[in-house]
Amino acid sequence: MTGPESEGLPLRRAVCPGSFDPITNGHLDIIGRASKLYDVVHVAVMINQSKHGLFTVEERIELIREVTREYGNVEVESHHGLLVDFCKQRDIPAIVKGLRAVSDFDYELQMAQMNNGLSGVETLFVPTNPTYSFLSSSLVKEVATGVCDGAHLVPPVVVEALRERLKKH
Ligand code: ADP
């Protein structure tokens, strides 16, 4: 065994939170980059009971597991409640988020400051790959209801899942 664990050092952990309904290439880009920087990357699928998703939380988790398997250090779980509690329970000191545009910034800054004030957990912002700066799960769902299946926006298994869910053949 090599790496921090074999040397008795604690594993460096980070979390990528979101609703992932469904996971897009933009999410995947951020998770993949985080997986190169940390020993373990936790993906937290945040449960929002007031929002009815296109995919169930279990389906979202399954899709994320499938498309992140090759990274080898990504763990996917759901979480209901505060993200800082998820972090505390797993000894995670850092939240990694993608910043798409200035429009993301105000809200993300407030959340980062609130989370840090609540628990000391840090938020690290990764600039979005410009190819995906316009991309969101909601846009993907809209596009997928039309003639385009969004194959350039999401991984192939997600295209299939969208086709199945929206019954397009
Ligand atoms: P949505 O994709 O609907 O905006 P999520 O809640 O699933 O919402 O997104 C979770 C997080 O994933 C965002 O806060 C952001 O950090 C990151 N993210 C989402 N889309 C992208 C993208 N296209 N590029 C980079 N990061 C993204």
What's the pLDDT tens digit per position in 43-99?
A: 999 998 888 899 999 999 999 999 999 999 999 999 999 999 999 999 999 999 999
Mean pLDDT value across residues 145-164: 88
pLDDT at 1: 60
Q: CA-to-CA distance for 27 and 18, rounded, in angstroms?
A: 9
The answer to which of 128-137, 138-147, 153-162 has the lowest mean pLDDT is 138-147
Instruction: Give 3-state DSSP helix, strand, coil % of the chain, rounded to 5.
Output: 45, 20, 35
Nearest to 75 by CA among 42, 39, 53, 51: 42
90 classed as catalytic:
no
Q: CA-to-CA distance for 58 and 99, rounded, in angstroms?
A: 26
Provide the mean pLDDT of the chain: 93
Q: What percent of the chain has pLDDT over 70?
A: 98
Q: What is the 48 CA–ligand 1 centroid distance (Å)?
A: 15
Q: What percent of the chain has pLDDT over 90?
A: 79
Q: What is the 7 CA–ligand 1 centroid distance (Å)?
A: 35
User: Is-above-0.85 flag for pTM?
Assistant: yes
pLDDT at 12: 97
Mean pLDDT value across residues 12-17: 98
Q: CA-to-CA distance for 79 and 47, rounded, in angstroms?
A: 6
Name the catalytic one among 42, 60, 100, 141.
Answer: 100
Ligand 1 atom with minimal separation from the 135 CA: 23
